[in-house]
Amino acid sequence: MLEDFSLEALVYYLEAHPLITVLLVVMIVMILGSLLRKLIKIAVICGLLFLGSLYYTNIEASEDWRVRAEMVKGQAAVLGKEALKKGAELLQEGKKELDKQLEAR
């Protein structure tokens, strides 16, 4: 059956029956338009899902950022106090050394 099928025979048939040709072209255009609309709809849905997930992760990231900032702030305060104590000790030691050098003269 398909051995006798040729593209030339189909072209001759469509040339002989222009109404069927127009109907086939309209059907093909409708199918392609439907597919394009579905593709656009899927793209919009995917875009909205992407934006929603981005918004959700941004909220979680900003909360995490605040927690980390508080942790760093606390650590900086502790280290700053330790540095002040160490600096005061070094100043006292330097003062004692300076006093010893002044007494030796």
DSSP string, 86-102: HHHHHHHHHHHHHHHHH
- pTM summary value: 0.47
Give CA separation, 69 vs 21, 24, 57, 78, 89, in Å.
70, 66, 18, 14, 30
pLDDT 10s digits, 13-68 = 999 999 999 999 999 999 999 999 999 999 999 999 999 988 888 777 777 777 88
- Mean pLDDT, range 81-103, rounded to an integer: 88
Please name the residues in contact with 24: beta carbons below 8 A apart, sequence gap of 6 or more.
Answer: 14
Q: Check if the beta carbon of residue 14 is closer than 8 Å to that of residue 21.
A: yes
Per the model's pLDDT, the better-predicted residue between 35 and 2 turns out to be 35
Give the pLDDT of residue 55.
85
- DSSP state at residue 3: G
pLDDT 10s digits, 54-74 = 888 877 777 777 788 888 888
Per the model's pLDDT, the better-predicted residue between 79 and 34 turns out to be 34
